[in-house]
Amino acid sequence: MIKIAVFASGTGTNFDAILENINAGKLSAKLALMVCDKPMALVVEKAKKANIPSFVFDPKDYPSKAAYDQAILEQCHQHEVDLIILAGYMRIVSSVLLQAYPHRIINIHPSLLPAFKGKDAIKQAYDYGVKVMGVSVHYVNEDLDGGDIIAQKAFNCEGMNLDEAEKNIHAIEHQLYPQTIQKIIEELTI
């Protein structure tokens, strides 16, 4: 069984979706570790309730990004993590993790990449006046939201307000991410 770590910084609705898919037998993985850089984030409570081992840290407690990524790496090794899933993890991953997990770190981003990288992607796209919005799942490399795209799903957002567009994006994410992770796992285990 492939062991995954989910990295998150916030509400953790993608964390929920991944866990639900595992529990429903639709995602053949063990959620071995949850990593969070925000001790007060809701996802921390969720992982605790679900008895998922967690590594919660405050970046301010470390002298550098490399130092906390090294601490994360040690946790990943300890929990024998095969694949790292970024799910609303609002930090750039350093070479410490990228070199240890080449082509084994994936991210979900709420836009049709390469458009609207970075923070507040949904609002960026909405303010731009796009007619089509969507979600991307991609490999993580040293460029922000820049790695190879694995999956995308688009929808027509004409006439939607920002709230409706956000709800649509999240509903798509909660389906697309577990499905895409399952496909990657199947390829890894063939």
**How large is the angle between the packed helices 162-189 and 13-23, nearest 10 degrees?**
40
**C-alpha span between 79 and 63 (Å, rounded):** 24
Q: Which residue is nearest to ligand GAR (CB)?
A: 88
Q: Where are the beta strands (DSSP E) in 50-104?
A: 54-56, 83-86
Residue 173, CA distances (Å) to 81, 102, 123 in order? 23, 24, 16
CB of 49 to ligand GAR, least distance (A): 16
Residue 109 bears catalytic tag: yes
CB of 73 to ligand GAR, least distance (A): 21
User: Which residue number, 93 or 108, has a Cβ lying nearer to ligand GAR?
Assistant: 108
CB of 137 to ligand GAR, least distance (A): 9
User: Which residue number, 14 or 76, has a Cβ lying nearer to ligand GAR?
Assistant: 14
Write out the residues near ligand GAR by the rule CB under 6 A. Answer: 8, 10-14, 87-88, 108-110, 121, 145, 173
What residues are annotated to the active site? 109
